[in-house]
A and B are shown apart, each in its own frame.
Chain A
Amino acid sequence: MKKNLLLAAAVLAVATLGTSTLRADPAEAEDDAYRMAKRYVDKGFALAPTDNSGVCGGGQAVSFYIPVNKGLDYVFLVGSDRAAQDVDLYVYDDVGQLILDDRRPGRLAGVQFRSSYNGTAVVYMVMSRATGLASWYVLVGRRGVPKTGIPAPTPLDYNRTVPNNPAAPDEPAASSTAEDPVGP
């Protein structure tokens, strides 16, 4: 009987190990973002944290400003910890028009666009779903490119069906569609 109880305790301990690690972990979110950043550095982007990071629960959203300049390619990336289940990203221009969003399910979110204006992007990080409190960390990359017009903005093309895969997103699909996301 005593043996059985010990066994039960051991099984319980192993089974609950996974849930006990799912707490807000800012270091994990930062590491996640750093891994993504290294990959984009290899693609010629100058990446850096925005000093926007934090902890929030499911359904909560945070907004922040990111300066942008005309003609530069930008990537906005959100790293998160394993408590985050679904992170979304919305990018508006400084007159309140939506440039693009990434609402796909998964704990990574990222967008790429070429800015058609000088000014500020207003970015919203939405923690759509989380197990308790989750940590998030935002990175921005910029890359100068020769003047070739403004391609359509696009969410980053990576496998969002594996939400806990810490691998960095792949290079976004190239687009040759000229479009001015800001308008006249």
Chain B
Amino acid sequence: MQAKTYLALAALTIASLAGSAHAQNPPKPVPVDKPAFDPKTATPSQLPLPSPYDKMLAIEVAAGDKKVDWGAIYDAIAIDVDANSMPDKTSAALALGVKIADGLVAVKSQDVEKLNACATQIESLAKKLGAQDSDLRRARLVRENANKGKWLDVFLELGFLQSDIMKILARPENANMRRLIIATGWMQGARHVSHYLGGHYSPEISNVLREPLLVGALDKDVKALPPEILTHPRAKGLPEATGAALPIVTIGLDQPVSPENIAKLKALADKCIKTALDQ
């Protein structure tokens, strides 16, 4: 009887350990010659958060030794917003996109005061959209790193903070707010970059505005918003703005954007953001 029990116990143990080993230690690496991947099988994901940061970095690389004064551009373009004056979530989402773009320019300008102002406004707007203090714990790290002058860490923590806020917007009741944030974020980024390009035109550098695929998708996303949002007084300018921006950024790989088109982009983005912030 006892021998039988021990036998059963041993068999059970071996079987369990075998299962565990398979799960914990993945199979040996397989050769790299995997079957060809078919991109058509992939599920498209949502559009990424807007960021003028890469364009600013590319401008700096192209400008070489010439220092770009991002602080002055921030002063000319950034707009302070008061979350308490936002009448509804649509207005808060539109303003949040603006402040996310401004925040990235503040990081690039390495200005603690500007960055802290943006972080505070981003927090207030996120709360208006339903964020709790626990969702915004990264804001403290953003400020801490800014105070230490660790700007790449600021960029990282600000990115995670934005990502945490976007998770809140993944809730069904906030689904369309995400599109609004991306749209005004892109427009505000376009204002910053076109302001710089307008004052320091170079055919080569102007190509940083090239973005046909993303702006095409953004335009479709905006136009797919429900009528109650598209008729909102602050959101109504978005479809016209993304539609007018698309042909300006739809250019060849090395094709410049003309000074006239840069001015046109700046003007349409100005109008769109002015409407979005009810100014």
Contacts and interface: CB of A to CB of B under 8 A. Distances in A.
Contact of B45 (A4, A19, A47, A64): A64
B61 A145 contact: yes
B207 A11 contact: no
In the complex, which of the residues B46, B153, B212, B213 has the most CB atoms of chain A within 10 Å of its own CB atom? B213
B58 A46 contact: no
Given A19-B23, A118-B58, A49 B159 contact: yes
A70 B155 contact: no
Contacts of B61: 71-72, 144-147
A111 to B, nearest CB: 14
B39 A90 contact: yes
A119 B212 contact: yes
B213 A160 contact: no
28 contacts: A8-B9, A8-B12, A11-B13, A15-B20, A16-B19, A18-B23, A19-B20, A48-B156, A48-B158, A49-B163, A52-B45, A52-B46, A52-B48, A61-B43, A64-B46, A66-B48, A72-B54, A88-B37, A92-B39, A103-B37, A117-B210, A118-B208, A118-B253, A120-B212, A126-B42, A146-B61, A147-B62, A161-B29
A69 B207 CA distance: 9
B201 interface: no
B39 A144 contact: no
A120 B209 CA distance: 11
Contacts, number: 201
Nearest to A90: B37
A37 B20 contact: no
Interface string A14-49: 011111001000000000001001100100111111
A50 B211 contact: no
Contacts of B156: 37-38, 41, 46-48
B173 to A, nearest CB: 19
Interface in A152-180: 160-161, 163-164
A67 B217 CA distance: 12
B26 A103 contact: no
B39 A63 contact: yes
Given A69-B208, A120-B213, A124-B37, A46 B57 contact: yes
Interface of B: 1-2, 5-6, 8-9, 12-13, 16-17, 19-20, 23-27, 29-30, 32, 34, 37, 39, 41-49, 51, 53-55, 57-58, 60-62, 64, 152-153, 155-156, 158-160, 162-163, 166, 207-214, 217, 253
B21 to A, nearest CB: 8
By size class, the interface of chain A is 35 or more
B220 to A, nearest CB: 12
Contact of A144 (B37, B45, B57, B212): B57
A72 B45 CA distance: 24
B66 to A, nearest CB: 13
A109 interface: no
Contacts of A124: 37, 39, 42
Nearest to A49: B163
B160 A49 contact: yes
A91 to B, nearest CB: 11
A72 B34 contact: no
B16 A70 contact: no
A119 B27 CA distance: 39
Contacts of A104: 29, 32
Contact of B211 (A53, A120, A147, A163): A120
A65 B152 contact: no
Contacts of A63: 39, 42-45
Given A8-B12, A15-B20, A67-B51, 10 more contacts: A1-B1, A4-B5, A11-B16, A15-B16, A41-B156, A52-B48, A85-B27, A103-B37, A129-B27, A164-B26
